Amino acid sequence: MLTLIEEERVDEDNRIVAAVSNYDGPMTLFKRLPRLRWKASGAQEIIPPDVQTRCPELGADFKLLAEELVPHFRELDANALQIQNDFRLEQVLLIFGGALATILGALHASLGAVWIGITESVLAAALSAVAMRAKTTRVQEGYFTDRLKAEKLRTEYFLFLGRVGTYAEDAERLRQLVRRVAEIKGGGEAK
Amino acid sequence: MTARDQQFFALYRQHRVEDQRGFYDGRRREFRAAQDESVWLVAVLEEKTRNGI
């Protein structure tokens, strides 16, 4: 199925100047299906290294941030993506497993084959286990927490670069950064 | 405005403001497309079910 995306482009006064359609590949609906085995992609960058080299005045700050903040950001970002994948996998299993169990139930009722009934029972038991696990592990909550922490670290990154607020004083800014990173990572401010 | 300030503001606009805008614009387009597809999918399935597949 083709997907046409219509978008209106507006100028500074919010007047529509063009309506564009972009082809976004087949079946956007299934674009974000989870992976059975999670494989982390490359290390996430807040500012790509080639952009950093174009800003020599900020070089010292980039170096400090790379040592004190970026490793924690990458860890939280990777965790959030992995937990998000786990959550989606659970949901997809419950949706498609539930549909399959219903189909098996209908076949069992109409054909009366014993093996279909047994398969349906096993599937229903497995789905109950998945649902129970989803309820106890609170995967979605874990994803939200780590994503929020990662995005708060991204905010601190730019506040530090801009010497905003507590980062305005040269003597104190590094100490403040270390304190804030520990605070955010520890969950004091993330929830 | 110092050279440092200029570099920071350019960086902030491109890698904070535009980056966030691009992310949410992309998601909005994607969700709209997915919504359209789901409407089509439901219509096709309903039609098939009505006609006995």
pLDDT (mean) for A90-119: 92
pLDDT recorded at residue A23: 52
CB-CB contact of A68 with A180 (8 Å): no
Q: pLDDT tens digits for A17-53?
A: 444 445 556 688 888 889 888 888 778 889 999 999 9
User: What pLDDT shows up at residue A26?
Assistant: 66
pLDDT of residue A83: 92
Contacts of A47 in chain B (CB under 8 A): 11, 15
- In this prediction, residues A125-137 reach a mean pLDDT of 89
Q: Is pLDDT at A100 greater than 70 in this prediction?
A: yes
Q: Is the ipTM of this complex over 0.90?
A: no
Residue type, B32: R
Residue ranges of the domains in chain A?
96-137, 140-191
Mean pLDDT of A66-84: 94
Per-residue pLDDT tens digits for B2-45: 999 999 999 999 999 999 999 999 999 999 999 999 999 999 99
Of B8, B33, B40, the CB nearest to A58: B8
| pLDDT the model gives residue B52 | 73
pLDDT, position B40:
93
CB of B40 less than 8 A from some CB of A: yes
Of B8, B15, B41, the CB nearest to A162: B8
pLDDT (0 to 100) of residue A11: 45
Yes or no, beta carbons of B12 and A22 under 8 Å apart: no
How high is the pLDDT of residue A18? 46
Predicted confidence band of residue A4 (pLDDT cuts 50, 70, 90):
very low
User: A5–B16: do the CB atoms touch at under 8 Å?
Assistant: no
> Chain B: nearest CA to A162, how far in angstroms?
6
| Amino acid in position A184 | I
A191 has a pLDDT exceeding 60: no
Burial of A137 (0-12, 13-18, 19+ CB in 10 A): middle
CA distance A183 to A174: 14
Q: For A5, phi and psi rounded to 5 degrees?
A: -110, 120
- Summarised one tens digit per residue, pLDDT across range A132-176 is 888 888 888 888 999 999 999 999 999 999 999 999 999 999 999
> B19 CB near a chain A CB, below 8 Å?
no
Of A27, A28, A57, the CB nearest to B7: A57
B/e letters for A156-179, b = 16+ CB within 10 Å, e = fewer, are: bbbbbbbbeebbeeeeebeebbee
pLDDT of residue A16: 44
**A chain contacts of residue B39, beta-carbon cutoff 8 Å:** none
Gap between the Cα atoms of A159 and A172, Å rounded:
14
Question: Which residues of chain A are within 8 Å of residue B4 when distances are taken between CB atoms?
Answer: 57-58
Inter-chain touch B12–A27, beta carbons under 8 Å: no
DSSP per-residue codes, A25-37: -S-GGGTTPPPSS
User: To which H or E segment does residue A49 belong?
Assistant: helix A49-53
Quote the pLDDT of residue A38: 85
| pLDDT for residue A136 | 85
